[in-house]
Chain A
Amino acid sequence: MRPAQFLRLWRIAAPLVVGVVLLALWELVVRVNSIPPYILPGPLAIAASLWTDGPSLLGSLLVTLRVTLAALAAAAVLGGAIAVLFSLSRVLELSLFPYAVILQVTPIVAIAPLIIIWVREPFLALLVCAWIVAFFPVVANTTVGLNSADRNLLALFRLYGASRGQVLRYLKLPTALPYFLTGLRISGGLALIGAVVAEFVAGTGGDETGLAFRILEAGYRLAIPRLFAALFLLSLTGILIYLVLDFLSRLLLRHWHESAIEEDEE
């Protein structure tokens, strides 16, 4: 086996082995100490709950996922647009960027109740909350990217009499793409967190209940295995979002950016 293949195998196998060992230890500790399931259920009990409550939990997951994805899309589009506006006007950037920071550092838990009062439509209220959490990395990263264009290339564009639009389109936007994608990967996780936090605050989101509310509900009812099952689904979703965005990033940058180039290619 070549070293590269070996490495690739280990990249998958090693964390898997650690995971299995940890789960086994967990089950062992629960059984040996006979910890009741309403305090700490073992992995097997959680798996059983995942099996029985799975369909209804998946329905709730879909509700949360819809908010998350809509918020992520809004973060990508609006965040990108804001960054482009910033790059076009220094005045705009200087006057608005601090407010973007303020929006970012204010804990969403603190302002979510207000948003839920102000925005009547429940889905929209959740979306706004998740968006506030998710948009900043896109704006911050893309702004840096748009300002990182190679000085000599800028000079070259000037030499050939390029318009501002052309500089943006042919030089600044491609330069900013890797930065934007990095921001988006961070935003993916944050959008999910934002959606969950908003659901916690909002309680039931209208007729449909998201996964976060199911976690709350399971907690109140001491259905701890179900709580863990919901948590598991939530983590899985987060990982999945990250992997999809990572794949997208590699796909878009595969030809030219160092981050997307396979190590053993050269």
Chain B
Amino acid sequence: MRGIGKRFRSGVAALAGIDLDIGGGEFLSLVGPSGCGKTTLLRIIAGLIEPSEGERRLSLAADGGGPMSRGRVGFVFQDPTLMPWGTVADNVLLPFRIAGRAGPAERERVGAELRAVGLAGFERAYPRELSGGMRMRVSIARALVTDPDLLLLDEPFAALDEITRMALNDDLLRLWEARRTTVVFVTHSVFESVYLSTRIAVMTARPGRIAADLPIELPQPRERFLRTSPRYAAICTTVSNELALAMAKEPPGDGPSPQPSLRLRGEGGTREAGG
């Protein structure tokens, strides 16, 4: 799969002067303190909200650079965001159902995807019967079932316990290594981002901007023991320092600092693009 090039310069209070190109097959993490507009940025990338300034361009090899078509983007929210009335299979089938094709071939895909995330045999279970980690797996399966060109994850593992989180990190890596889908991953965990990513963008708040853009040069495929290697620790330190530096540069809390908001549409109140 050949990937995506994208660029936007958005300038509302929540985000200012963000330039970002995402290459095909990248695993990009957005790291930053809460309220720095990571989620907003992710939603702009998804096309769920429009930037008030700047442009967002997605070019897909398959579409000849046309607008992103349906099913090209998979999205995983902070919560599993499953339909409680539907079985696991119903939930994963949803993108196909909306596209108006939910035939045997699609059901086959759903089964394969559930196997891929380690949920074989749970097709007929209801979300409430599953653990938090399993629900998140269903959510990931739903995002991947359409074989998207771009997978967006918004702090998907923030609510999970450490053990489940590490297992899901490994599984996500494995899925990504097998498909090389372009991934944008929002997290506030430096360790998680370094472990997963090929590139990390460190963000600061008020207004959200990208303070540092760091390629992560760690061997692939990545294995569990990487977590304890000195190399990994060194990179984590670098990223942490960048983050601390970025947060230190932040304007102190005096004066009218506009609150980051999802709903702000940029009439006035925009800041000079910087960063």
CA A152 – CA B86 in complex, angstroms?
A: 16
A-B pair count, CB < 8 Å, reads: 53
Chain B contact residues: over half helix, strand or loop, or mixed?
loop
Residues of the A chain whose Cβ atoms lie less than 8 Å from the Cβ of B84: 256-257
CB-CB under 8 A from B99, the residues of chain A are 160-161
Which chain B residue shows the least CB distance to A252? B85
Q: Is A58 an interface residue (CB 8 A)?
A: no
Q: Is B157 an interface residue (CB 8 A)?
A: no
Chain A residues, CB < 8 A from B126: 255-256
Is B127 in the interface zone, CB < 8 Å from A?
A: yes
Establish whether residues A158 and B48, one from each chain, have CB atoms under 8 Å apart when the complex forms. Answer: yes
Closest Cβ–Cβ distance, residue B72 to chain A (whole Å): 10
CB-based nearest A residue for B47: A159
- Is B128 positioned at the interface, with any CB of A under 8 Å from its CB? yes
Which B residues lie within 8 Å of A156 (CB)?
75, 77, 81, 94
- Whether B48 lies near A155 (C-beta < 8 A) is yes
Question: How far, in angstroms, from A159 to B81 measured CA to CA in the complex?
Answer: 14
Q: Is B79 an interface residue (CB 8 A)?
A: yes
Q: How far is the CA of A46 from the CA of B271 in the complex (A)?
A: 83
Across-interface contacts of B17 in A (CB, < 8 A): none
Cα(A166)–Cα(B94), bound, Å: 11
Residue contact B83 to A174, C-beta cutoff 8 Å: yes
A170 in contact (CB, < 8 A):
yes
A166, B98: Cβ atoms closer than 8 Å: yes
> Complex: how many Å from CA A170 to CA B47?
22
Q: List 13 A-B contacts (CB under 8 A).
A: A152-B77, A152-B81, A155-B75, A159-B75, A160-B70, A160-B71, A160-B98, A166-B98, A170-B83, A174-B86, A177-B85, A255-B126, A256-B85
Chain B residues engaging chain A, CB cutoff 8 angstroms:
43, 46-48, 70-71, 73, 75, 77, 79, 81, 83-86, 94-95, 97-99, 126-128
